[in-house]
């Protein structure tokens, strides 16, 4: 199978991007290929299209499965395993965010909490703890916000995102209401 120049560019680009995100190039390319493919692909087809060894594809798919980014299915009268990327790009985005949270954010928050429980040995430790508190609060705040958004149905999420700048305007509106309410209480 020969990739069209269009898909080729896309696949190569995502290979590069993957490596900037701690995902290896191969895995990025496999995912990109599945993403633009109209039909589910089996491991041999992937190996052929990307010119990787069969074993490399096997490892790459395993990695993608651990990220819950691919769907495994079987076609009638075919023993081989076929893989595809979920249709809904929002669902993909959420899965990715979710996995990264589990793998990176949660352990970081946990480490920070432990550090904040420790008794500071000196002034430097006290300062370090202050900084860690700031970081902890930032991460927790962003994460909580993300959780909220994350729980929404894809359609609602799309709607929220489409608002863009309007979210900010709602915030301004809320402030004005507050001010009015405040002046009432004087």
Spatial contact of 57 and 111, defined as CB atoms under 8 Å apart: no
Q: What share of the chain is helix, strand, coil (3-state, %, to 5)?
A: 75, 5, 20
State how far Cα 87 lies from the chain centre. Answer: 16
Please identify which residue in 24, 58, 63, 152 interacts with its own copies, judged by CB under 8 A: 152
Q: Does 118 bind its own copies (CB under 8 A)?
A: yes
Distance linking the first and last C-alpha atoms of the chain: 75
**Which residues in 10-69 contact DNA (CB under 7 A)?**
19, 24-26, 42-44, 51-56, 58-59, 61-62
State how far Cα 177 lies from the chain centre. Answer: 36
Q: Does 163 bind its own copies (CB under 8 A)?
A: yes
Q: Does 151 bind DNA (CB under 7 A)?
A: no
Nearest distance in Å: CB 112, its own copies: 8
- Provide the binding-site residues for DNA, judged by CB under 7 A: 19, 24-26, 42-44, 51-56, 58-59, 61-62, 78-81
């Amino acid at each position: 199978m020969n990739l069209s120049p269009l898909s080729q560019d896309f696949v190569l680009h995502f290979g590069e991007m993957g490596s900037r995100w701690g995902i290896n190039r191969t895995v990025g390319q496999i995912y990109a290929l599945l993403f633009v493919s109209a039909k589910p692909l089996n491991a041999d087809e992937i190996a052929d299209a990307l010119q990787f060894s069969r074993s490399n594809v096997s490892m790459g798919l395993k990695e993608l499965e651990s990220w819950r980014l691919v769907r495994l299915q079987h076609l009638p009268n075919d023993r081989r395993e076929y893989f595809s990327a979920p249709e809904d790009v929002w669902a993909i985005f959420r899965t990715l965010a979710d996995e990264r949270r589990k793998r990176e954010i949660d352990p970081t928050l946990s480490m920070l909490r432990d550090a904040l429980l420790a008794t500071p040995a000196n002034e430097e430790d006290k300062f370090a703890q202050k900084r860690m508190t700031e970081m902890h609060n930032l991460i927790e705040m962003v994460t909580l916000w993300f959780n909220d958004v994350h729980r929404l149905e894809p359609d609602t999420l799309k709607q929220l995102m489409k608002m863009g700048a309007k979210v900010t305007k709602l915030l301004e509106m809320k402030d004005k209401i507050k001010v009015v309410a405040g002046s009432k209480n004087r």
